[in-house]
Amino acid sequence: MFKAMKTRQPIGILGATGMVGQRYIQLLERHPWFEITWLAASDRSSGKSYGEAAKWRLDTPLPERIANMIVSPAEPSAAANGNQTAPKIIFSSIDAPIARELEPRFAAAGCAVISNSSAFRMAPNVPLVLPEVNADHLHLIEEQSWRKQSGGYIVTNSNCTVMGPVLALKPIVDRFGIEQIFATSMQAVSGAGYPGVASMDILDNVVPYIPNEEEKMEEEMLKLLGSLDGHTVKPLIARMSASCNRVPVVDGHTVSVSIKLGKPATREEILAAWAEFRPLARQNLPTAPEQPVEWAPQPDRPQPRLDRNRGNGMAVTVGRLRPCGVLDWKFTVLSHNTIRGAAGATILNAELLASLGKL
């Protein structure tokens, strides 16, 4: 177990005003290890108080201390000095084109950039990590030139839609192998940020397309389930097909999954694989859910409105396990897309890095 820290480590947030940025703030409010000391956002926001700059969209109050913090420019120099405590740990959730330019500059400046952005997820020397699934991939940071020069590095977590299925599939891959994966998502609007999806597009409607989402889901899934092989990750060898849809739900991505196994498994064996899947049981990471994959025995669950907050939004819920007429088994998996699928994932990665002495 990681030793209790005397003082909480300072954290900076890149993209603090966005939907995921708001979740970082919410989830870190009483965090035992981390404390937000620096907030950065686009030029439009910098120089304002956070309370002015952000349109807070969460149903818990914006903490007073955060509301009064002044938003900094998104510059490593702004983080490294000035009136504010300079954090060496940066949680980042910004658009890919901006991340592609900014995150390396923070890493070069010696920061641990723990990112929810998609820019570097598939880079060969950047770990794409979900602590319960592939903690060992973190070794990839040693392949990064920044690490050698300044100590800085980039670690990423996956796309919000991948998170639920990959947690549900990991214990099955480990015990039985998986050769084919079929995933059809019904995704919440919060996944598109703010303002994101127009209400005219989604009220009384389904949008059967989310730009680049299917590609991300397919490639990130296989990298996450892949194995570290020396200096690189070998993706899982499996055929994968994703279909992504947007539905009128605020939070919580629901995914219908079908799989072909490497070797046969009974329903009981799969349920057991999920029940016994507790890879972080001994680590005592504060944000890790006790049971990362919870089974819902009711015939009509999981449902986003009822199940998204399980494990404080960090547990994924599986249900409806039944034989598949085309592959072997099918089931439904649900995860909270801005907690488990984004802000909580970044925080859990940071906790893992801290417990390994890498922060």
Contact status: 180 vs a copy of itself (CB under 8 A): yes
Are the beta carbons of 152 and 110 closer than 8 angstroms?
yes
C-alpha closest to that of 252 among 182, 164, 346, 159:
164
Query: Applying CB under 8 A, which part among 36-44, 59-67, 104-112, 154-162 lies near a copy of itself?
Result: 59-67
Count of residues of this chain found to bind a copy of itself when the rule CB under 8 A is applied: 63
Are the beta carbons of 38 and 293 closer than 8 angstroms?
no
| Other residues' Cβ atoms within 10 Å of the Cβ of residue 199 | 10
Rounded to whole angstroms, the Cα distance separating 349 from 343 reads: 10
Query: Burial, 209: exposed, middle or buried (Cβ in 10 Å; 0-12, 13-18, 19+)?
Result: exposed
Instruction: Name residue 72's amino acid.
Output: S
Contact status: 223 vs a copy of itself (CB under 8 A): no
| Other residues' Cβ atoms within 10 Å of the Cβ of residue 229 | 8
One of 31, 111, 137, 160 is an active-site residue; which one? 160
Query: Exposed e or buried b for every residue in 23-36, given b needs 16+ CB within 10 A?
Result: bbbbbbeebebbbb
Q: What is the residue whose two structure tokens read 């989310």?
A: 210
Q: How many CA atoms lie within 13 A of 77 on its CB side?
A: 0
Q: Whose Cβ is closer to a copy of itself: residue 31's or residue 310's?
A: 310
Minimum Å gap between C-beta 145 and a copy of itself is 34
Contact status: 60 vs a copy of itself (CB under 8 A): yes
Report helix, strand or coil for 187.
strand
User: Is 253 in the active site?
Assistant: yes
DSSP for residue 236: P
Rounded to whole angstroms, the Cα distance separating 131 from 21 reads: 21
Minimum Å gap between C-beta 62 and a copy of itself is 11
Are the beta carbons of 182 and 328 closer than 8 angstroms?
no
Query: Applying CB under 8 A, which part among 38-46, 125-133, 177-185, 343-351 lies near a copy of itself?
Result: 177-185
Q: 307-346: which residues touch a copy of itself (CB under 8 A)?
A: 307-310, 319-320, 324-327, 330, 332
Contact status: 74 vs a copy of itself (CB under 8 A): no
Q: 76-115: which residues touch a copy of itself (CB under 8 A)?
A: none
Contact status: 39 vs a copy of itself (CB under 8 A): no
What the block records as the tokens of 35 is 């404390």
Contact status: 67 vs a copy of itself (CB under 8 A): no
Minimum Å gap between C-beta 302 and a copy of itself is 7
Contact status: 254 vs a copy of itself (CB under 8 A): yes
How does DSSP assign 325-357, residue by residue?
SSSSEEEEEEE-TTIIIIIHHHHHHHHHHHHTT
Of 100, 122, 123, 194, the one binding a copy of itself (CB under 8 A) is 194
Of 96, 198, 275, 356, the one binding a copy of itself (CB under 8 A) is 198
Minimum Å gap between C-beta 4 and a copy of itself is 26
Of 301, 321, 358, 359, the one binding a copy of itself (CB under 8 A) is 301
Peptide bond into 61 cis (omega under 30): no
Q: Whose Cβ is closer to a copy of itself: residue 150's or residue 184's?
A: 184
Of 82, 97, 124, 208, the one binding a copy of itself (CB under 8 A) is 208
Contact status: 196 vs a copy of itself (CB under 8 A): yes
What the block records as the tokens of 203 is 């009220």
User: Is 160 in the active site?
Assistant: yes
Q: 140-169: which residues touch a copy of itself (CB under 8 A)?
A: none
Q: 14-33: which residues touch a copy of itself (CB under 8 A)?
A: 19
Partners of 254 in beta bridges: 186, 334
Q: How far apart are the first and last CA of the chain?
A: 15
Binding site for a copy of itself (CB under 8 A): 19, 57-61, 180-182, 184, 186, 189-190, 194-209, 218, 239-243, 245, 247-250, 254, 256, 258, 299-310, 319-320, 324-327, 330, 332
- The catalytic residues are 160, 253
